[in-house]
Every structure is written in structure tokens, then in C-alpha cells.
Amino acid sequence: MTDLSPLVPRAAALVAAARAAGVRIATAESCTGGLIAALLTEVPGSSDVVDRGFVTYSNGAKTDLVGVPADLIAAHGAVSEPVARAMAEGALARSDAHVAVSVTGIAGPGGGSAEKPVGLVHFALAATGRPTRHVERRFGDLGRAGVRLATVETAMRLLEESLRD
């Protein structure tokens, strides 16, 4: 199982910083399947900060829950910059949060290709009144739990940076 223990102190600091800033957070997760929300809610009192999370595992869920257009998925694939951006912006729009982070990637062991190998993850960070940020990472084949851990860590960094900006 993906071991998020090393990230709990960072989650506690992030929740405290968000609370102090009056910022609420939403998540839209594909390959992490809820790990980011689970990490944030490990922190006592996180209900002040965590509004909701969307685990958009299937393509239908990406469309239904956070409004990713089906033709965007058809054109670019679920693991792509446009879909990551649409997930984050959809999560922001369909929540009471001020910041939303999204992840969509290939955790493996199956599902990789030459163009989109295991370990490829697209991230986006949408925040009220700011341009959406996109980040692409190619972690390599760290194993399913390794890719998921690296993905949660990068998502945490994006949230941390958004609170510092």
C-alpha cells in the first residue's frame, strides 16, 4: 500500500496554512484514487479546510463529476494536459473551494505506451482569480505504489506553492 506517513507533517502544515489564509481545498483525482484527500483528512480539524474530493477514476466520472468534455478525452486521452486542466477547473467550479488540484496519470503496471509510459502524470492547480497551472512529470516505472506516492507528493507541492503565492 502506498505509504503516505512521510507526508503527514506536510499535510498538517498545509492545513494550518490554509486555515490561517481562509482557503478551502478540493481535489480531483484519477490515478491516486483518493489518496490526496485521504492524506489531507488525516489531519485533525481538516474539515475547516477540505471541502470535497472527486475520485474521477473512469472517463464517465471525469465528465459527470467535474465536467471534462467527452470529446476532450477522446481527442487527447484521459492522461493529458487539457484533461488535467479541465479536471482542476471543474473541481473548483463545482465546489466551495478556493483551490483545486487535479492529477491524471498512469500508475501501472499496465496501461503504458511509448508515448505515455507508466509514471507519466499530468497535474493542474486551479485557484479563484488566477491562471490555472499545469505540470507534467515522468516519474518512470517506480511501481504502482511508488508512482502514486510521487504523485501525491507533487500535488502537495502544488498546493503548498499556491498558498505561498
In degrees and rounded to multiples of 5, residue 93 shows phi and psi of: -70, -30
> Which CA distances in Å does 159 have to 72, 76, 101, 126, 138?
25, 25, 7, 10, 19
User: If binding is defined by CB under 8 A, does position 60 make contact with its own copies?
Assistant: yes
Angle between the N-to-C axes of helices 144-164 and 8-21, in degrees from 0 to 180, rounded to the nearest 10: 30
Q: Shortest Cβ distance from residue 51 to its own copies (Å)?
A: 5
| The binder of its own copies chosen from 40, 84, 88, 158 (CB under 8 A) | 40
User: If binding is defined by CB under 8 A, does position 64 make contact with its own copies?
Assistant: yes
Residues 84-123 that bind its own copies (CB under 8 A): 94-96, 108-110
Q: Shortest Cβ distance from residue 126 to its own copies (Å)?
A: 17
Q: Shortest Cβ distance from residue 131 to its own copies (Å)?
A: 26
Q: In terms of C-beta density within 10 A (0-12 exposed, 13-18 middle, 19 or more buried), how is residue 67 classed?
A: middle
User: If binding is defined by CB under 8 A, does position 151 make contact with its own copies?
Assistant: no
Binding site for its own copies (CB under 8 A): 1-5, 7-8, 27, 29, 31-42, 44-47, 50-58, 60-61, 64-65, 94-96, 108-110, 144-145, 148
